[in-house]
Amino acid sequence: MGSPCELICEARKRADALELSALVAAEAWRIEDKFSRYLDDNIVARINSAAGRPVDVDEETAALLDFAVTLYDLSERRFDITSGVLRRIWRFDGGDQVPSRQSVEDMLSLVGWHRVDWRRPELQMPGGMEIDLGGIGKEYAVDRCAALLREQGGSPCLINFGGDLVATEPPLRRRRWKAAVEGDEPDVPNRIIDLKIGALATSGDARRFLLKDGVRYSHILDPRTGWPVPDAPRSITIAADTCVQAGMISTLGMLKGAQAENFLSTQGVVFWCRR
Partner 1 sequence: MTRSDNRSISVTLAAATCSLLGGGIPAPVDAQEEPAWDFNTSLLYYGEDDDRVKDYSVSAIARRMFVDDRFLTIGLTVDVLTGATPNGAIKQDVPQTFTRPSGDGAYTVAAGELPLDDTFKDTRAAFTVSWQQPVGETSLINIGASASREYDYTHIGLNAKFARDFNRRNTTLSAGIALSMDSLDPVGGAPTPLTPMLDVGDKSNRRGDEDKDVLDIVVGVTQVVSRNLIVQANYSYSNSDGYLTDPYKVLSLVDSTTGDTLPRVPAPGAEGPSHQFLFENRPDDRTKHSIYGQAKYYMNGKVLDASYRFMTDDWEIDSHTVDLRYRIPFGADRYFEPHLRFYTQTEAEFYMLSISDSQPLPSFASADYRLGDFDAITLGIKYGWKTRNDNEMSVRVEGYRQTGSIPGNQIIGNQATRDNYPDLNAIIVQLGYRF
* Contact predicate 94/209, CB 8 Å: yes
Q: Which residues 214-273 are close enough to bind partner 1 by CB under 8 A?
A: 239-242, 244-246, 248-249, 252, 263, 266-270, 272
In the bound complex, what is the minimum distance in angstroms from residue 242's beta carbon to partner 1? Answer: 6
71 is a site residue for partner 1 (CB under 8 A): yes
DSSP per-residue string spanning 120-178: TTEEE--TT----THHHHHHHHHHHHHHHHHHH-SS-EEEEETTEEEESS--SSSSSEE
**Closer CB to partner 1, 210 or 248, in the complex:** 248
Least CB distance to partner 1 at residue 72 (A): 11
b/e code 196-216 from CB counts within 10 Å (16+ = b): eebbbbbbbebeebbeeeeee
Q: Which is nearer to partner 1, 148 or 206 (CB)?
A: 148
Quote the least distance from Cβ 91 to partner 1, whole Å: 31
From the list 23-31, 33-41, 99-107, 188-196, the region that binds partner 1 by CB under 8 A is 188-196
Q: How many angstroms separate the CA atoms of 232 and 275, rounded?
A: 8
Q: Which is nearer to partner 1, 89 or 148 (CB)?
A: 148
Q: State which residue, 98 or 149, has the beta carbon closest to partner 1.
A: 149
**Of the candidates 139, 116, 104, which has an alpha carbon nearest to the alpha carbon of residue 249?**
139
Nearest to 231 by CA among 275, 262, 266, 185: 275
Contacts of 95 (CB under 8 A, 6+ apart): 210, 211
Nearer to partner 1, 85 or 179 (CB): 179
**Under rule CB under 8 A, which residues in 103-142 are in contact with partner 1?**
140
Determine if 189 is a binding residue for partner 1 (CB under 8 A).
yes
In the complex, minimum distance from the CB of residue 265 to partner 1, in angstroms, rounded to a whole number: 9
Nearer to partner 1 among residue 102 and residue 266 (C-beta): 266
Say if residue 8 is exposed, middle or buried (CB neighbours under 10 Å; 0-12, 13-18, 19+).
Answer: middle
Distance CA 102, CA 82 (A): 19
Binding site for partner 1 (CB under 8 A): 63-64, 66-67, 70-71, 74, 140, 143-144, 146-147, 150, 166, 168, 178, 180, 189, 191-200, 239-242, 244-246, 248-249, 252, 263, 266-270, 272
